[in-house]
Structure 1
Amino acid sequence: MPRLYSALVIDRPWSTLALLLALAVVATIGARDFRLDASSDSLVLETDPDLAQWREVNERYGGGDFLLVTFTPARDLLAPESIATVQALRDRLAEVDGVASVLSMVDVPLLRSPPAPLSELADNVRTLTSDDVDLELALEELTTSPLYRELLVSADGRSTAIQVNLESDGHYTRVITQRNELLIQRQREGLDDAQRAEFEALQRELEQLRRAAGARQQRLVADVRAVVDSFRNGDTLFVGGVTMIADDMLSFIRGDLRTFGIGVLLLVIAMLAFFFRRLRWVLLPLACGGLTVLYMVGFLGWVNWPITVISSNFVSLLIIISISLTIHLTVRFRELQNRDPTLDVRTLMIDTVQHRFWPCFYTAITTMVAFASLVSSGIVPVIDFGWMMTIGVGVALVVAFTLFPAVVMLLPDGSGRETIARAVGVTALLARGTNAQPVTVIVICALVAVLSGWGMSRLTVENSFIDYFQKSTEIYQGMAFVDEHLGGTTPLDVIIRFPDEPKFEFDDADDPFGDPFADDDMLSGDPFDDPLMDDAPEDALGADRYWFTPDKIALIEDVHAYLEAQPETGKVISLATLHAIAMDFNDGEPLGGAELAFVIGAVPVEFQEALLAPYASPSANEARISIRMIDSDPNLKRNEFLQRIEHGIEEETGLDRDRYELSGMMVLFNNMLQGLFQSQNTTLLWVAAGILVTFIILFRSILLGLIAIIPNGLAAAAVLGLMGWLRLPLDMMTITIAAIVIGIGVDGTIHYVHRFRRELPRAPSYEAALAASHNSIGHAIFYTALTVAAGFSMLVFSNFNPTIYFGSLTSAAMLLALLANLTLLPAILLKLKPFGPAGTAL
């Protein structure tokens, strides 16, 4: 061990602690800016080309983010008290800062309550608050209208939805668009100095905007919830929407951090107290883990580096890794102390560090290589997670080898033989079994590998938003209610582009049908002016009303009908929906060109934003079909569905593929999941390759490198295979579980091989070296694995299903890695004898 280390750490413990404390103060200051980013933007890929299109669609059609508030009164839905409640709720929601507009059943025009000619409706549009509205007919219209049924009012007429449209930040959208364009260019061809400077400036501005947007979103959701809670007097209300999903994810993750912190603290205290039987050996691992997390949280706060859903478990991982490093130091120190109680603390500490530094160092390096390999995924949240863990493991190593020796040097001597809960029964049993039947162990593990590979072939990523939450949570109940009664949750759009049409200019001299006796005033203005429209109200569309032609409507109706026939879709709305309503005024017959122009022009300006603007853009020569997906449908397979309709629209309607696009949050979220799934193989290959190279450098043997990677590869394959057999889909958290298992599992592998090599020269046989290794380092591996597994098991108390799966599967994987390191690894060493004959110096 370098003398410099002894001089700086072991011989100057007070100085070491003072430095660690000073860094802790700096980290505490930075920790105030630590944040979690669970916005809807964090659920998509930044460089996804569909993301730019989605933002363009939102800007053009006014979609944007929205919340849904469902209201089921204890009395009739259209009772005066219920209508008054909806009005009051609408008005209160409209006052919330960040809300752009609110649409409720009291705001929409009623066309059949009572029935009236279309020419009269233009001047006298009724709503539920009109004096002459027939409430009985209004309920029938709201529950049967193709526009309102299962969108604003449930089919049974008992519930209604209030759509709360949120303000969009145009500046934020422009900044992120410019940044993403430069990001894509940097990945493809690189940036020059000016572009790099622009990119860095945009990145800094974007971080500030994201921080402000996150705070606004959190306040807005809290304010909306507060308003809704104040109206629960005997009535049933739920709040839903993608923004609510993102906010609840953030809330659950924060809760998990608290739950994990408290739960793991209590559990680890109990386990360490059982293992080591002294307070100092309980508190020291906890102190190392806590200080490591504080340093990393402070660092992330200082550099404005937020964590996302994917990287939210980095705290739990760092605590576990830090505690495992400290356990190895503790076990070695106590082992030496029990072997010779007369040795002073300084001698014991020097020996402990000498024998544990290099195994721990290579363990940390190998784990860092595993996490650093995640940068090969090409997906920003996964890359960020990889770098966070790589840095964090390095911090954990430094903290363990500074805080632990400094504190122990300052504690009372405590010399003498100490009692310790030995894992003799388990490790000895595994040693005897492996020594007696190494071939059987290898065959059993080979069968496990085959079954794991079979299970891995069944893996999918087809999960839904609703599957992320427990059935007891409000967000789950709200999403399920909307899916069942109000048309679905996750938005999907189909954008139809129409071919450009020639524009005609009318000239009297060139008109072969011109009337030479006509008055000039008669020829001025709109050549398509309809005298029927003379008494119609002024409309905002102007000449754009002639864009709505029968051919366009017919094509939209074909696509609409195809989408509506799909079992996974909920409410589908488009111009076809409005045309179906208009046909009721035309004896059920389709409208001609002049009739369409009249109807479109007759829609009052105040209703055009709700009825026309979301579904047609004459200036862009496009139409939009809005779909709500039934997220709770157990048969919904996102990727398969999107591929089916992508080809089905062309096959069923004859519309050329280049004339329509799919957009919406469903497309973006599916792209992210598919990107994660496709990147997993690449990531695992890089993880395996990186660890293999590290093992070869560490053990200076290709054969040993290959042997060492087998146990952890089996543990990772087994947990993925288990997911496949149980039909548990990969999600944003579990997608990284294989790399995590390999990265943490190598801890036991390195320590075991290192100890085996030390025992072999003084052992008469490989079997004796195996027994000695199990009886020494085997205990540390056993304690560490149980502590890790128990710590992750606390995550099963979450309300966020990905966290539950992550915790339970990681716990299982750590136990599998423990078994593999204490059975399969020594069995292979026994059969291959990679170190040469026993009893000889290596």
Structure 2
Amino acid sequence: MRAVLQRAIDRADAWIVDRPGRVVALFLVLTLVFGVGLTNVSTDSGTESFSEDIPEQQALDAVTEQFEDPFDPDPQTTQLIQSGENVVSKPGLLRMAEAQYRLAEREDLRVVETNSAASMVAMQLDPSATTLEAQRDVLERTPSGAIRQAVRETAAENPAFVRLLSTDFNQRSARASATVAIVEHDIPGDPAEEGQTGELTRIQRTSERVVAPLGGDIRVFGAGIINDEFSTVIGDSLLVVIPAAVVLLVGFLIIAYRDFVDLLLGMVALGTTIVWTLGFMGLVGIPFSQILIAVPPLLLAVGIDFGIHAINRFREEKAAGVDRETAMRRTTDQLLVAFFLVTATSVVGFASNLASGLLPIREFGVVASVGIVFAFLVFGVYLPALKMYTDDLRDRYPQIPTFSQAPLASAESRVGSVLQVGVVVAERAPLVLVAVALVVSTGAGVYATGVDTAFTQEQFLPPEETPAYLDSLPEPFRPGEYTITRDINFLEDTFEASEGDQVVVYVEGPMTSDGALESMARAGTNPPSTFVPDGRRAEEESILSLIQFYAAQDPAFAALVERNDGNRNGIPDENLERIYDALFTSPAGDAAETYLTDDYRNARVLYTVQGDADDAEITADTRDVADKYRFRATATGEIVVFQAVADLIFESAIVSLALALVGTAAFLVVAFTVLEGRPSLGLVNLLPIVMTVAFVAATMRVIDYSLNAFTATVLAMTIGLGIDYSVHVVHRFVDELAVRGDPSAAVTATVVGTGGALAGSMLTTVFGIGVLVLAVFPAIGQFGVLAAISVVYSFFSSMLVLPSALLLWCRFVRPNTNTPSSTSRDAPTED
């Protein structure tokens, strides 16, 4: 097996050293192919893709489809939010009526129906005013006093009218500070398809311009604007993050390479990796979501790591006095193996996310894994070939400037002396250091079990106010203006509890059956502690509460209910179909449609919950209440759905971490068995990684970061990123040990040589992925912070603890030898 691998490496060496021009041409052609895919990359944003496969979300989708509610995000409706005045005064109602009329008059806005408090008041004044123009005229010619009386009467008779008004509505004085109108559009096709989503965005952005001249504060809100801003925030984040990463990384590359041509080669290789990865996404149809914003900085950071290792190792060999071809053969002989080990273990770490129950996390695992493979090919084959090709050009054209070609560190350098701290400790007390490291890591792991798990819409929303440092950026890097967070917060704070403050029970069964409403009442009796009580029952909104409300307003309906209430408890239990028929044909009919389907087979019950209650407790209590129903009932609503996703996130993080650790261990054991005949070296590689994972998880708790849709991938990703450092150290140590024979000399040469490149790559990786803190929404920033921390921990554990572990390995596993190997570094012998 080892011989087969060596033959493959020798072929790669031959192409890189002897035919660099052909290699460069091949990679350029592949870049053009992936460039075609780059033009097909689409975006996907929001929380829907995280929850689309879970039962709670499917129930919520059924609720959204079957029940009308002004606060449900119907994909083909626009909400007009009016505030800043008494919206039920004559001027306020006229302004809303005029807005509805102007929108309906525009054929390109595809308006088929509107619903507002203004329309309801106009119909109360004149039932024959069935058109928007007639309703506007009625309001215009009616005195203010008559309008106030009509507002009072409408509120008393129609609960749907009250739901369209802010919670500060005062029926007696006919005053409210805000209202919402609903405008329905007829958009052919599936509204979830990209073309229809774009059409709705166009309609709603046009609607903004139509209502703007009316004055007052009438804002347009809806799914089209939400999708538009979700997509915009991805582009704005990339527009800030990528240039910042490039500027920082170029600065570090200047220090690392200290040569203009080598710097240019590194940038070309980085660009190629990004183009290939994004092109792959376009070719296979993976949309660019918020979580994938982390991939380009990640690849930039890993690519620079590979590049620094490649250039630095080549310079080390050149500094030893050999010719360019021999130096490159030795470099690729060593680094192709090291890069392969790093790539394979990184792929294991990233691909472990494929076990997640959440589609975006699985897509992240696919894209990151493929991107790492591309980085291996580009920096393991393309960059060395470019280096050979350009160095040939330098020989032919001396005008091309050449600056420093010295490696990053030597034993006599200041960097080299600092890096030897771990070696000094390893030579004096390796067992003590490893023991202390294991004890401290175990303590950190136990402490990390207290990390919270969370999934909220706010993690995906653009900020309500853009940070000042982003506003100060010049065009085109300055982010645009975002309104959806402001409007969502306004709706939640100003109107009746939306599903963000409530939970929903979706009931499926014949609601006309005797006792169906009694079952609904029993389910809400003696409510759990997380529910808001209303006497002995939970505070709820349902077809039952609407029946009781309307019975208090209409004596005839009250008499009908009483005749069919066998046990006289105010809950009808017979002839329910007749009661529903009477309710649906009454002024409360519109409200009834929000709680019961037209065929009387499915019902929606909303329970108000305590605002400070824990989401996990609310979810458990809601499921308990749903189990009390006579018919099939599913607990759902935003809180329940998001908690279900949070549970999946936690499960995914644990499963992915376990798979990454086990998969990485298995691969490294097999790899070092094949390459060196020493499977135990594979386990030695894991020590720094296990430490790093424990410390990263503990740090999350210390700085109060939760496991969310973005940070859930960090623990498994820590293995993918961090294994780079330990693999390079162990692989270089084995090579040096074969040449030098003495473990202390081998570990010193390893830490000084590879350690210098690792230090440079650590800094570039930290700052390259750390720039994610500049992303427009903070959840990605948390991801960047944790990823950067994981790299720092991986570097220091590899530099400080791994040397001791390697010397202990030599002491207890491999018999010591002080005789250098007689073989050359081109082909180190087996242990």
Please confirm whether the aligned pair reaches a TM-score higher than 0.5, indicating the same fold.
Answer: yes
Contact kept in structure 1, 2:523 and 2:625, CA below 8 Å: no
Partner SS state of residue 660, structure 1:
strand
Among 670, 677, 683, the residue aligned to 1:697:
670
- Structure 2: distance between partners of 1:604 and 1:617: 10
Among 279, 284, 287, the residue aligned to 1:306:
287
1:36 to 2:43 alignment? yes
Encode CA deviations 1:84-115: one digit per residue, 9 max, x unaligned: 3323444456667577654332234699999x
Q: 1:558 to 1:400 in 2, by over 3 A?
A: closer
- Structure 1: distance between partners of 2:146 and 2:709: 51
1:15 to 2:28 alignment? no
| Partner residue, 1:255 | 236
| Partner residue, 1:395 | 374
- Structure 1: distance between partners of 2:177 and 2:592: 25
1:749 to 2:723 alignment? no
Q: 1:419 to 1:224 in 2, by over 3 A?
A: farther
Q: 1:425 to 1:225 in 2, by over 3 A?
A: farther
Among 505, 511, 515, the residue aligned to 1:494:
505
Q: Comparing 17-26 with 591-600, which one deviates more in the overlay?
A: 591-600
The amino acid that maps onto 1:368 is: V
- Structure 1: distance between partners of 2:707 and 2:648: 12
Normalising by the residue count of structure 2, what TM-score does the alignment of the two structures yield? 0.78
| Partner residue, 1:78 | 88
Among 518, 531, 537, the residue aligned to 1:566:
531
- Structure 2: distance between partners of 1:704 and 1:399: 28
| Partner residue, 2:115 | 103
Q: 1:282 to 1:169 in 2, by over 3 A?
A: same
Aligned-pair distance for 1:361? 1.4
Task: Map 1:430-829 onto structure 2 (within 5 A).
Answer: 430-439=422-431, 441-469=433-461, 470-472=463-465, 474-490=483-499, 492-497=503-508, 552=517, 555=520, 559=524, 566=531, 573-586=541-554, 592-593=560-561, 610-626=590-606, 635-648=612-625, 655-656=628-629, 658-700=631-673, 701-763=678-740, 765-829=742-806
1:65 to 2:73 alignment? yes
Contact kept in structure 2, 1:488 and 1:571, CA below 8 Å: no
| Partner residue, 2:477 | none
Aligned-pair distance for 1:418? 3.3
Encode CA deviations 1:302-321: one digit per residue, 9 max, x unaligned: 22232434444222322222
1:282 to 2:263 alignment? yes
Contact kept in structure 2, 1:68 and 1:161, CA below 8 Å: no
Task: Map 1:39-50 onto structure 2 (within 5 A).
Answer: 41-46=48-53, 48-50=54-56
Aligned-pair distance for 1:584? 4.2
- Structure 1: distance between partners of 2:229 and 2:423: 48
1:405 to 2:412 alignment? no
The amino acid that maps onto 1:781 is: L
Aligned-pair distance for 1:273? 1.0
Partner SS state of residue 118, structure 2:
coil
- Structure 2: distance between partners of 1:588 and 1:729: 55
Contact kept in structure 1, 2:532 and 2:608, CA below 8 Å: no
The amino acid that maps onto 1:438 is: P
Aligned-pair distance for 1:34? 0.7
Q: 1:710 to 1:731 in 2, by over 3 A?
A: same
1:427 to 2:419 alignment? yes
- Structure 2: distance between partners of 1:6 and 1:498: 71
Contact kept in structure 1, 2:314 and 2:328, CA below 8 Å: yes
Q: Comparing 138-147 with 11-20, which one deviates more in the overlay?
A: 138-147
Identity %: 20
Task: Map 1:49-60 onto structure 2 (within 5 A).
Answer: 49-60=55-66
Aligned-pair distance for 1:575? 2.7
Q: 1:255 to 1:745 in 2, by over 3 A?
A: same
Q: 1:432 to 1:601 in 2, by over 3 A?
A: same
| Partner residue, 2:479 | none
- Structure 2: distance between partners of 1:450 and 1:159: 57
Contact kept in structure 2, 1:455 and 1:722, CA below 8 Å: no
The amino acid that maps onto 2:788 is: S
Encode CA deviations 1:384-423: one digit per residue, 9 max, x unaligned: 3222222222221111133212322232147786356643
1:837 to 2:805 alignment? no
Partner SS state of residue 119, structure 2:
coil
Encode CA deviations 1:198-251: one digit per residue, 9 max, x unaligned: xxxxxxxxxxx74435544554564566567x369563747477x765554433
1:160 to 2:142 alignment? no
Contact kept in structure 2, 1:143 and 1:155, CA below 8 Å: no
Contact kept in structure 1, 2:692 and 2:797, CA below 8 Å: yes
- Structure 2: distance between partners of 1:607 and 1:130: 25
Contact kept in structure 2, 1:107 and 1:127, CA below 8 Å: no
Encode CA deviations 1:264-293: one digit per residue, 9 max, x unaligned: 100000111122222223222222121112
Contact kept in structure 2, 1:74 and 1:234, CA below 8 Å: yes
The amino acid that maps onto 1:364 is: T
Contact kept in structure 2, 1:70 and 1:238, CA below 8 Å: yes
- Structure 2: distance between partners of 1:568 and 1:251: 42
The amino acid that maps onto 2:643 is: N
| Partner residue, 2:480 | none
Contact kept in structure 1, 2:420 and 2:751, CA below 8 Å: yes
- Structure 2: distance between partners of 1:637 and 1:31: 43
Aligned-pair distance for 1:712? 1.2
- Structure 2: distance between partners of 1:459 and 1:232: 50
- Structure 2: distance between partners of 1:693 and 1:775: 29
The amino acid that maps onto 2:73 is: D
Partner SS state of residue 305, structure 1:
coil
Q: 1:764 to 1:500 in 2, by over 3 A?
A: closer
The amino acid that maps onto 1:255 is: D
Q: Comparing 142-151 with 479-488, which one deviates more in the overlay?
A: 142-151
Q: 1:567 to 1:110 in 2, by over 3 A?
A: farther
Q: 1:253 to 1:713 in 2, by over 3 A?
A: farther
Aligned-pair distance for 1:22? 2.1
| Partner residue, 2:249 | 268
Q: 1:498 to 1:658 in 2, by over 3 A?
A: closer
- Structure 2: distance between partners of 1:657 and 1:601: 22
| Partner residue, 1:506 | none
- Structure 2: distance between partners of 1:262 and 1:416: 26
Q: Comparing 406-415 with 395-404, which one deviates more in the overlay?
A: 406-415
Contact kept in structure 2, 1:792 and 1:811, CA below 8 Å: yes
The amino acid that maps onto 1:154 is: T
Q: 1:4 to 1:831 in 2, by over 3 A?
A: closer
Q: 1:240 to 1:452 in 2, by over 3 A?
A: farther
Structure 1 residues without counterparts, runs of 5 or longer: 117-123, 174-208, 503-548
- Structure 2: distance between partners of 1:588 and 1:812: 70
Aligned-pair distance for 1:56? 3.5
- Structure 1: distance between partners of 2:203 and 2:528: 34
Aligned-pair distance for 1:809? 0.7
Partner SS state of residue 592, structure 1:
helix
Contact kept in structure 1, 2:83 and 2:177, CA below 8 Å: yes
1:131 to 2:142 alignment? yes
Q: 1:471 to 1:681 in 2, by over 3 A?
A: same
Contact kept in structure 1, 2:520 and 2:629, CA below 8 Å: no
Among 6, 14, 24, the residue aligned to 2:31:
24
| Partner residue, 1:529 | none
The amino acid that maps onto 2:350 is: F
Aligned-pair distance for 1:325? 1.4
- Structure 2: distance between partners of 1:51 and 1:309: 20
Q: 1:555 to 1:6 in 2, by over 3 A?
A: closer
